[in-house]
Amino acid sequence: MESLVSNIQIQVQDSLFVKDPQSSDLGKKIIKGSIELICELGFEQFTFKKLAVKISSTEASVYRYFESKNMVLLYLSNWYWSWLEYRIVFTITNLPSAEDQLLKAVHLLTEQVNEDGNFEHINEIKLHQIVVSESLKSYLSKDVDSKNEGGAFVPYKNLVERITQLILQINPQFKYPHMLISTVIEGAHLQRHFATHLPRLTDIIEGEDAVTEFYSQIVFKAIQ
């Protein structure tokens, strides 16, 4: 896998940045430092001033790449969704049936994230934590419609659409594929959060990934 994907670059739409952070070492330091700081402090306490100190640069340099910290969060969320879709496509391509492909896709959507290793400036484990705890703020906001018109949620939509097509291969008559998959994604995030912080709101079963098992059952029972 490493030899095949070592040159892969996850694309994020131009509207989310002033200058592509993947185009320079400083830009990659900004992304890496942002992930570490948001994961450590939370998005509310994250500032460009703190980021500049962390990466030994200046606020002005950060602003050359992003116009605001909200755009950083959107960028990170979009990178994550695009990366997840790339992982799913790469993993399921040679599986023999739509059922096998859907099962594997649901596993990838809901399981604990491991560090990829193909993107040195991205810690996917920490990025996943940010998506779980912070990404909802991007679309539960007053300006969600204007963000949507600017294409801010395209990677998330593309991911949901890709899995939706697998469901429709299995059961073309199923009426709620988009609703099912977006519910699986957001629900799995909440259950992971509950397991860590509010365990009485979920079920933790020794020797089993209860979140992945639960949502795998939900998907296949719903569509069949």
b/e map 110-140, b = 16+ CB within 10 Å: beebeebebbeebbbebbbbbbbbbbeebbe
Q: For residues 153 and 143, is the Cβ–Cβ distance under 8 A? A: no
| Two tokens, residue 138 | 């991007």
CA-wise closest residue to 211 among 187, 177, 181, 179: 187
CA gap 82, 181 in Å, rounded: 16
- Mean pLDDT by 10-residue block, N- to C-terminus, for the chain (224 residues)? 56 92 96 96 95 97 96 95 95 95 97 87 94 84 87 93 97 98 96 94 95 97 95
Q: For residues 135 and 43, is the Cβ–Cβ distance under 8 A? A: no
> According to CATH, what is the number of the domain 2-223?
1.10.357.10
Q: What angle do helix axes 177-197 and 154-170 make, rounded to 10 degrees?
A: 110
Q: Tell me which amino acid residue 68 is.
A: S
Q: What angle do helix axes 177-197 and 124-134 make, rounded to 10 degrees?
A: 100
Confidence (pLDDT) at 9: 79
Q: Where exactly are the structural domains of the chain?
A: 2-223
Confidence (pLDDT) at 7: 56
